[in-house]
Amino acid sequence: MVLQTRDIEQLAQSYIKYALAKTDEEREAIFDVGMNEIDRIQFESPDDLWLIILKIHALTDDPQVLSLLSAGLLENLLSLFPSQSIDWVEEQARKDPRFKKLLRGVWQNLMSDETWQRVQKLIG
């Protein structure tokens, strides 16, 4: 599945709103609109998930959102699709110091030892 640029933007905005929601009611409404789709994408389409991660990262500097992004979507991408995603992550971290900083919030979780070591090497 390949998402359109407009869809990526909308899903990224939904993710940011979800991360910043103050009440359970707000989160539930946002989940029904966009997060449900992101949940599906993260298990089915690493290419689209990567584009959503990059868009979220580009749209905000909010520490709460970035923390959730690190320990959520980015960690899941590296855990579920390591052979595809680690090269993308390494390339992005080399050219974007903000993205490299984002990796500090990633935990090993279900990630292979090999992938985790590569992430740790990027962090330094």
Q: What is the pTM of this model?
A: 0.93
Question: Tokens 């320990």 appear where?
Answer: 71
Q: Which of 36-40, 79-83, 118-122 has the lowest mean pLDDT?
A: 36-40
Handedness of CA 114, 117, 118, 119 (dihedral sign): positive
Q: How far is Cα 111 from Cα 57, in angstroms, rounded to an integer? A: 21
Q: How far apart are the first and last CA of the chain?
A: 34
Average pLDDT, the chain: 93
How many domains does the chain fold into? 1
pLDDT tens column, 14-64:
999 999 999 988 888 777 667 889 999 999 999 999 999 999 999 999 999
Position 66, amino acid: L
Handedness of CA 101, 107, 110, 115 (dihedral sign): positive
- Residue range of the domain that includes 96: 5-123
DSSP reduced 3-state for 22: coil
